[in-house]
Homo-oligomer: A and B are copies of this chain.
Amino acid sequence: MSELRQNPATKKWVIIAKERAKRPHEYLSKKKNLLNEKQPYSEKCPFCPGNEDKLPEEGIILEKKKNGKQWSVRVVPNKFPALTAYGNVERNEIENLFLSMEGVGCHEVIIETPIHNTTIGLFPKEDVEDTISAYRERYLSFSKDKRFKIVIIFKNHGEGAGTSLDHPHSQLIATPIVPQYTRHRIHEAVDYYDDWGKCVYCSIIEAEKKLKERIVLETEHFIAFVPFAAALPFEITVIPKRHAATFGEINDKEITDLAGILHNVLGKLYRKLNNPDYNYVIHTAPFNDKGEDYYHWHIEIFPRLTKVAGFEMGSGIYINTSIPKECASFLRE
């Protein structure tokens, strides 16, 4: 018999299809999709060193160097931006019904390393640190522009996760609206806060630490766990132990620590599941919620091992054909 489980933070129910559930090793990608079969440099890649002429005209926005030598991380504009920095945020209305506005925002790419055929789980964790520092710098910079409400930082790894470029990179999009997903999460978090006088994410951290069975890795400042109501096989949440509503509040020590845990967890996914496609996204409260007690920023990692079908699209209820604690145990070992 399957089980319905509710995510206490989002209040979303999922179906844990226990009878149909596969064992963790059955999720191994069959094709050995390993990166060392590719070359460390690609002539056609706009993100490889020496190919800067393939970047958008605006050029490099931010660059980090190791010991004054070659760059380790670069931030560049997205060549095909979903939103652009000019225009205004006035709403238009058609037929007293349809609201629209100019596509104002910003869309940038964070090139995580000069090396073409690698990935966060494989390259030195010091380099991951530069990527996360770059995230924070850009976040803080956008937070000063009153037109923007939030920055969504995310990564698409592999074709099945929606990327067409192999070179390790993540993206950020600053939006002039608060996404409805964020509004709903905050709404639920505020409800919990008003009921219990504490942050629901802090309560989850406490419960997961006590139960232990779903924890993948714990470091000084973060824990990584497979959620009780994981929607997808091997879904992982990485969350700072210190309460902070917005990603911009991350401090230097936490950046170093987050680099380590991301490197480690994504390395486990790479090695134990044969380099699966995945997305990750940083969930943060909007800029203006800095310092708030009720929300708690965190990262969600979504391996793309299954297909989303009509039931999920129509109801938002995911059918998870794996057992969260088994996925955690498989990754922990």
Residues of A within 8 A of B (CB): 1-6, 8, 10-13, 15-20, 80-84, 86-87, 94-95, 97-104, 152, 154-156, 159-163, 171, 173, 175-177, 179-182, 184, 203-204, 207, 210-211, 228-229, 279-283, 300, 302, 307-311, 313-317, 319
| 29 A-B pairs whose Cβ atoms sit less than 8 Å apart in the complex | A1-B86, A1-B102, A1-B103, A2-B81, A2-B82, A3-B100, A3-B102, A4-B100, A5-B98, A6-B98, A8-B98, A15-B83, A17-B82, A97-B207, A152-B311, A154-B309, A154-B313, A155-B310, A156-B309, A162-B307, A171-B310, A173-B315, A175-B315, A179-B316, A181-B316, A279-B314, A281-B315, A283-B314, A308-B308
The oligomer's copy count stands at 2
Cross-chain contact A103 with B152 (CB below 8 angstroms): no
For A309, give the chain B residue with the smallest CB separation: B162
Interface of A is mostly: mixed
Known: A175-B317, A311-B152. A97 touches B162 (CB 8 A): no
Contact call A11/B180, Cβ cutoff below 8 A: yes
CB < 8 Å neighbour of A19 from B12, B80, B104, B177: B80
Seed contacts A94-B207, A154-B314; 6 additional CB < 8 Å A-B pairs: A15-B103, A17-B82, A97-B204, A152-B317, A171-B311, A279-B313
